[in-house]
Amino acid sequence: MIFSQTSNENVGRTLSDVLTAYYNDFIAAVPKIALGIAIVTIGFLIARFIGKFTTKQVRLRTEDPLMSKFLGNAMRTILVIVFIMIALRAAGLGDISAGILATAGASAVVLGFAFKDIGENFIAGVILSFNRPFNVDDTVEIGSNFGRVKALEFRYTKLKTFDGKDVYIPNSDVITQPVTNYTEDGFYRMDFTVGLDYNDDIDAAKELIMQALDTDVKVVKNDTHVNYVMEESLATSTVNLKIFFWIDTQEFGHVANRTKGRVIGKVKQELMAAGYYLPADIQEIKLYGKEVDIPLSFKDNRTDKS
């Protein structure tokens, strides 16, 4: 009984000593933990401020929202990681910081395989932030999508089509698919065809068409962008002329379509005012075999109002 009682007293004394030691260690570590929390808090505030400052400065210098957003986020993330590592070391948890970095590296590999498509789009967004074939409000054609760029994000590019649809294109597709930028050069060439009678004066008609082009304020004419008319083909009943003219793509969309419609109307008016016929296609009917008499008659549907 004396041995059993002594053993219980030793166990109780040992447990008490262990708890006391843990308590003393915790009390000694409280200042370090508080310092670490203070470093993290201040670090988050500093990182947020520097991230916003970087985003603003880059946007002012480059007018590129995607690049400015990427650099701002990258700066903020790097600073947050640095301050967390400093806080862990200040709190006496340097070994934990090394473990966190190792775990983060392994986790990045696992998540990379798990979210492959998201990762591709994010990396594509980073690439586009430094080397992009278009800007916001540019008129572009990406694959089969045609419209104006409205937003640039890390995972997708948003297009507003001219019929009112919002199209979100993954950035990986933007990199891999052909991209046509109608705004980068600032000009776009449109065309249409008009048919004249074989007996008409083609050269005089071409001069009238050029005059109609020159009178439209939305049609561009300079040494680089030349408007012209050419004979395209000899059709069944007409000599087809093709008209090429340039427009400004800064206001592409309905402005371009209205300009084309207005030019077609002016060309029609000028030609018809000059006596050009603008004939329709002639259909030729041939009957083979036994000769058949086909009676022809003309009926005047106009009523006599006298």
Distance between CA atoms of residues 262 and 272, nearest Å: 16
The residue ranking higher by pLDDT, 22 or 183, is 183
Cβ proximity of 134 and 183 under 8 Å:
yes
| Residue 271: how many other CB atoms lie within 10 Å | 21
Residue with tokens 């950035």: 171
Mean pLDDT (whole number) for 111-118 = 52
| Residue 143 DSSP code | T
Percent of the chain at pLDDT exceeding 70: 69
Average pLDDT along the chain: 78
**pLDDT average, residue stretch 57-78:** 70
pLDDT at 3: 46
DSSP letter string over 160-217? EETTS-EEEEEHHHHHHS-EEESSSSSEEEEEEEEEE-TTS-HHHHHHHHHHHHHT-T
Tens of pLDDT, residue by residue over 233-257, are 998 888 999 999 999 887 777 788 8
- The predicted model gives 111-134 an average pLDDT of 66
Q: Evaluate whether 51 touches 72 at the Cβ level (below 8 Å).
A: yes
Of these ranges, 121-130, 167-176, 201-210, the one predicted with the greatest mean pLDDT is 201-210
Q: What pLDDT band is residue 196 in, cutting at 50, 70 and 90?
A: very high
Going along the chain from its start, the domains and CATH numbers come out as: 2-114 (1.10.287.1260), 133-181 (2.30.30.60), 187-273 (3.30.70.100)
For residues 211 and 273, what is the distance between their CA atoms, to the nearest angstrom? 13
Q: What mean pLDDT is predicted for residues 189-202? A: 92
| Pairwise CA distance, residues 291 & 141, whole Å | 58
Residue 4 scores a pLDDT above 90 = no
What was the pLDDT predicted at 262? 93
Q: What's the pLDDT at 195?
A: 92
Say which residue, 110 or 194, is predicted with more confidence: 194
What digits encode the pLDDT tens for the residues 159-172?
999 888 999 998 88
DSSP string, 213-231: HHT-TTEE-SSSS--EEEE
pLDDT in tens, 140-159: 999 889 989 998 887 888 99
Q: Is the pLDDT of residue 300 over 90?
A: no
40 or 206, which is more confident:
206
Tokens of 11: 């166990």
Tens of pLDDT, residues 78-111 = 888 787 777 777 777 666 656 666 665 555 555 4
Residue 203 clears pLDDT 60, i.e. is over it: yes
Q: Which residue has the tokens 């009676």?
A: 295
